[in-house]
Amino acid sequence: MGVILESKELSKVYSVDKENKQDILKNVNLQINKGEFVSVMGPSGSGKSTLLYNISGMDRLTSGSVQFNGQEISTFSEQELSTLRLNKMGFIFQQIHLLKNLNIFDNIVLSAYLAKKDSRKSINKRATELMKRTNISSLADHDVTQASGGQLQRVAICRALINQPDIVFGDEPTGALNSKSADEVMEILADINQTGTTIMLVTHDVKVAAKTERILYMLDGNIVGEYQLGKYRKEKNDSRAREEEVSRWLMKLGF
Ligand SMILES: Nc1ncnc2c1ncn2[C@@H]1O[C@H](COP(=O)(O)OP(=O)(O)OP(=O)(O)O)[C@@H](O)[C@H]1O
């Protein structure tokens, strides 16, 4: 299978001012395998988002190492990092940052036009397929203001996938959605994972974590537990049992 992402002794210190420094990540060692679907849980302030930003090259670590596909990325320049993020990584956030002056289709294809890896014709074809897969084809020429939160989050998924990334990172990707839309988004992500894309997301929601394959638990800047759930398969119809399994594990950890 092989490792896609690895951190070794990853530390992040925030300096509030000269005297006040906060150790937010404390020597985090983490490995994510190619094709895995991993979630990160833990109390508020435990460092989940900070971990996501530091291992995805969106923020700079204070010390330690992060390797992506065997390449040390902590020493990359800003330009190298931005090229890496554009071509190899996709991002989905709780707040959907779409451009209001572009319609939904153009929001999805924009980063692929910028990456210039493929012709516009093949990018448009891919966008059309992604929109079909996420059930938002009818929204192509709509304004972003004309779509619901759940629909916009699907737009964000299409946008995250348009450059065929090796890995997709999500920071509370369902956090702003009602439970039906959250469920639909998770089904889409599970489906995308099953076609080979690695996914790592941060969540507070047991229902979300229960659709992932391995759950990491963060406490006070470190990973203090992990749980192997195995791949979620819709046809097994065991969402409830998985949620109960995760809840029992979290209770043992005092969550
Ligand atoms: N830019 C920053 N400067 C200073 N401190 C920060 C900064 N960003 C985050 N922090 C602090 O780092 C700690 C961890 O924040 P982080 O957002 O990673 O936690 P989290 O586990 O994702 O929390 P939540 O579940 O509430 O989103 C918090 O105490 C936060 O206040």
Cα 45 to middle of ligand 1, angstroms: 5
* Contact (Cβ atoms closer than 8 angstroms) between residue 158 and residue 129: no
Q: What is the pLDDT of residue 169?
A: 97
- Report whether residue 47 contacts ligand 1, using a CB cutoff of 6 Å: yes
CA distance readout (Å), 153 to 15, 178, 186: 34, 12, 11
Q: What is the pLDDT of residue 17?
A: 80
- Report whether residue 44 contacts ligand 1, using a CB cutoff of 6 Å: yes
Cα 65 to middle of ligand 1, angstroms: 20
Cα 95 to middle of ligand 1, angstroms: 16
218 CA: nearest ligand 1 atom:
21
State how far the Cα of 213 lies from the Cα of 222, in Å rounded to an integer: 20
Q: What is the pLDDT of residue 56?
A: 96
Cα 248 to the center of its chain, rounded Å = 25
ipTM for the complex shown: 0.96
Q: Where do the structural domains in the chain lie, given as residue ranges?
A: 3-253
* Contact (Cβ atoms closer than 8 angstroms) between residue 94 and residue 176: yes
State how far the Cα of 203 lies from the Cα of 49, in Å rounded to an integer: 9
Residue with the nearest Cα to atom 6 of ligand 1? 14
Tokens encoding 43: 């109390």
> Which parts of the chain sit beneath pLDDT 50?
none
Strand arrangement of the beta sheet that strand 214-219 belongs to: 89-93, 167-171, 198-202, 37-41, 214-219, 222-228
Cα 26 to middle of ligand 1, angstroms: 13
Tell me the pLDDT tens digit for each residue of 11-38: 999 988 878 888 999 999 999 999 999 9
Q: What is the pLDDT of residue 158?
A: 93
Residue with the nearest Cα to atom 1 of ligand 1? 14
- Report whether residue 45 contacts ligand 1, using a CB cutoff of 6 Å: yes
Pocket test for ligand 1, best of 46, 93, 95 (most atoms within 8 A of CB): 46
Residue with the nearest Cα to atom 25 of ligand 1? 44
Instruction: Report the predicted TM-score, pTM, of the whole model to 2 decimal places.
Output: 0.94
Could you please state the CATH topology (level 3) that the domain comprising 3-253 is classified under. Rossmann fold (3.40.50)
